[in-house]
A and B are shown apart, each in its own frame.
Chain A
């Protein structure tokens, strides 16, 4: 049996009297697209931010490739191969799209000192151009990211997460606020990126929080349903769709 890429065990986080995450455990396998769904307030974002080092959990452990990463800060996690996108757009508005992508991976090359003398694009120009082509944003590559439309900025935001070839990418509502005509495009892009082998021969795994059910069911290999800070069910899209408890609590008829 292959070892899981990410193993979360009994994660707990409370805000005062509110138990936002009340003992959540799950595993994500290498190359898997793992969806997380649930009503608002179910603790999805808190769980997400705990894995990403934005919040420190009170109890529980998080292991990446067998090594404990609980409590590491976002920068350390990124250096270990964890990437993320943000629910509210977080691009670098005053830099060009291409520079946004380059800066997204440049800190993985060389040391602080060597970077003082490295070429401006740290040798990442080719990779940035490849992602720009893949995301169909070539026509705006040299504009300032802040000048793009919402949908285009969303694509840049997602592309940035993939520049450093992460083992695990966490996507926080990648379809939020996006024109329905673009949702299919994002889904295909994510499938392409998931299918492509990285330079080191490993495939990357995704964890996706989303409210768009069609998107989630179509994209994900397995889905976890969270309700009131706990895991209600984990299974394939078909299993989840057939799960009576989940239908009652969340999906409806």
Chain B
């Protein structure tokens, strides 16, 4: 690994560990918020970036995770029981959402997931007896970690950081195993994959289900972070924003979600100085980013390398051409 990469990673780790204590509570809240979206986006990156599926309904699982934890904790059940329940629920619903993916392709699948998201959001908004409807659920507590209270901003941040690292580690392990190659084969060429004995149906369903679990975990953490939830953050526009985060970061790059979530969550905050125009600038920035880097921000190293190789190749060609004597010179001899 190059020295500059090592330095960069070191600086990043230092930032994650040492910066928050220096920030005011809103700053710590932003960092926590960003990490939560990193987890959710990691899941979507698996479904969309590694397995090549189309999913514009990811925020629905985010919502299912958040509401499951909120409702269960209101009923007196501990966070540590609610979280696995949310994960299991999201896994099952994710499998179910995978079934249309077996029958419809690409753009139709995108719309099907969009429809699914709207359906979930409608239930969250209308079924007041369960979800509190538009009034939402209030007073969600923060969990206790072996007796250690996580009520304050900074302890909760470190807790979320630990969960993020664990989830990232599990995903890394999964992608490094044969499953990773199977997902990529499914993405790059499902017909060939099938003829090589890869069970594309199973991997398709699992890519949705595992992605959903990640969103569910993120949702659970989100509920305890904001401590009041209502249906708005789980509607279609949130799914679209998550999709944006995956593509802007770089689909199929492991650290894409880290960058993408930063763009989606932190950039609008940073743009607030532009006041009423800040979302306009954000939208325009996304368009320009896509035109410049269609493969996402993390494709920059590859593009630089490709340019360098192209330059070297044409330099080599020029040198070879110069070394060959011209016709005139040969004729004169």
Task: Check if B185 sits within 8 Å of A75, measured CB to CB.
Answer: no
Chain B residue numbers with a CB within 8 Å of A73 are: 194
Chain B 155-197 interface mask (CB, 8 Å, partner A; 1/0): 0000000000000000000101111111011011101111111
Does B202 belong to the interface (CB within 8 Å)?
yes
Q: Assuming the A-B contacts A115-B177, A118-B177, A120-B180, are A107 and B189 also in contact, with contact meaning beta carbons closer than 8 angstroms in the complex?
A: no
- In the complex, the answer to whether B188 meets A94 with C-beta atoms within 8 Å is yes
Please report whether the interface of chain A is mostly helix, strand, loop or mixed according to DSSP.
Answer: loop
In the bound assembly, the distance between CA atoms of A99 and B189 in angstroms comes to 14
For residue A78, CB closer than 8 A to chain B, the reply is yes
> Is A112 an interface position by the 8 A CB rule?
yes
**CB of A245, distance to nearest CB on chain B (Å):** 35
Q: Are B188 and A120 in contact (CB under 8 A)?
A: no
Query: Which A residues touch B187, using CB under 8 A?
Result: 94
Residue of B181, B188, B195 touching A84 (CB-CB under 8 A): B195
Contact with B along A82-103 (1 / 0, CB 8 A): 0110100011111100010011
Most buried by B among A92, A95, A117: A92
Of all chain A residues, the one with the shortest Cβ separation from B203 is A112
**Residues from chain A with Cβ under 8 Å of B198 in the complex:** 75, 103, 107
Measured CB to CB, the closest approach of chain A to B91, in angstroms, equals 15
Please give, as numbers and ranges, the residues of chain A lying within 8 Å of B202 by CB-CB distance: 112
**Counting CB contacts under 8 A, is A116 at the interface?**
yes
B215 CB within 8 Å of chain A: no
**Across the interface, do A112 and B199 meet the contact criterion of CB distance under 8 Å?**
yes
The interface on chain A, measured as residues whose beta carbon lies within 8 A of the other chain's beta carbons, has a size of 35
CB neighbours (8 Å) of B199 from chain A are 75, 107, 112
| Interface residue A108 (Cβ < 8 Å from any Cβ of B) | yes
Distance in Å from the Cβ of A139 to the closest Cβ of chain B? 15
Greatest chain A CB density within 10 A among B174, B176, B182, B252 is at B182
Q: Please state if B188 and A75 are interface contacts (CB–CB under 8 Å).
A: no
B197: chain A residues within 8 A (beta carbon): 75, 78-79, 107-108, 164
Known contacts A75-B199, A118-B178, A122-B178; A90 and B192 CB within 8 A of each other: yes
CA A112 – CA B202 in complex, angstroms? 9
Query: Can you list 6 residue pairs at the A/B interface with Cβ under 8 Å?
Result: A95-B185, A95-B188, A104-B196, A107-B182, A112-B202, A160-B192
The interface of chain A, by Cβ under 8 A from chain B, is 52, 73-75, 77-79, 83-84, 86, 90-95, 99, 102-109, 112, 115-120, 122, 160, 164
**Residues of B near any A CB (own CB < 8 A):** 174, 176-182, 184-185, 187-189, 191-200, 202, 252
Known A-B contacts: A83-B196, A160-B192. Give 6 more (CB < 8 A).
A91-B189, A92-B185, A95-B188, A106-B181, A107-B197, A118-B178
For the complex of A and B, 5 pairs with smallest distance between CB atoms: A78-B197, A90-B192, A92-B188, A107-B197, A103-B181
